[in-house]
Amino acid sequence: MTNREIMVYEMLGYNPYYLACKGLVVAVAASESASPILPIWRSIDGEREASAIGTLCADRGRVILETAIGG
pLDDT at res. 5: 62
- Total tally of structural domains belonging to the chain: 1
DSSP state letter for 54? -
Q: Is the pTM of this model over 0.75?
A: no
Residue 3 has pLDDT above 70, yes or no: no
pLDDT at res. 6: 65
Distance CA 71, CA 60 (A): 19
Which conformational region is residue 3 in: left (phi greater than 0), alpha (psi within -120 to 50 degrees), or beta?
Answer: alpha
Q: What is the mean pLDDT of residues 5-17?
A: 73
pLDDT at res. 29: 83
Domain range enclosing 69: 1-71
Residue 37, amino acid:
I
Which of the two residues, 4 and 35, has the higher pLDDT score? Answer: 35
Distance CA 65, CA 53 (A): 10
